[in-house]
Amino acid sequence: MKASYLFPHRFSLLGWLLAIPAATFGLLMLFGVLDGDFLGRAQVFAIYAQRFLSDDIYFGFVTTDLADELISLLFTIGLLLIAFSAEREEDEFIRHLRLESLVWATKVNYLILIFFILFLYEGGFLLGLVFNMFTLLILFILRFRISLYMTWRAGQ
């Protein structure tokens, strides 16, 4: 029985092609190697924008750097495609590994969030939340791939 929630296997490669460059550019921006406005600034529609020292904007346009939004979007789409693309041979055992990995990743992700709540404050907390947006998918992919590898290795 095919799992209907999975993308076709070929989407996995597209996910890697999106996620790796996005992660690279994101880390370069994080460490200050690239400036955040290397893609330029543009006016975009915002449902809500909290402004420092001016009025908040509700359902209006704001001028912003496009790089962080584009990088976050490509990284998220890439991770989703990697995480939820079917294997070449998607069987009951692989579905079991997938579920087990997702449950494990969710638990670890929320333990990380609890750690951030307890020990990170102000800007550090916001940076932690940005990382926490991606850790669930990253942890799931890592755990699932390691489980697949260990199963394959045990069968050798």
Q: What residues contact residue 133 under an 8 Å CB cut-off, 6+ apart?
A: 72, 76
- Per 3-state DSSP, the chain is made up of helix, strand and coil in percentages (nearest 5) of 65, 15, 25
User: In sequence order, what E strands does the chain have?
Assistant: 41-49, 57-65
DSSP reduced 3-state for 110: helix
Q: What residues contact residue 122 under an 8 Å CB cut-off, 6+ apart?
A: none
Tens digits of per-residue pLDDT, 9-55?
999 999 999 999 999 999 999 898 988 788 888 999 999 998 888 88
Tens digits of per-residue pLDDT, 108-118?
999 999 999 99
Per-residue pLDDT at 40: 84
Per-residue pLDDT at 51: 83
Rounded Cα distance, 112 and 107, in Å: 9
Domains of the chain, residue spans: 1-87, 91-156
DSSP reduced 3-state for 109: helix
| Residue position matching structure tokens 């789409």 | 77
> Which token pair is 59?
């359902």
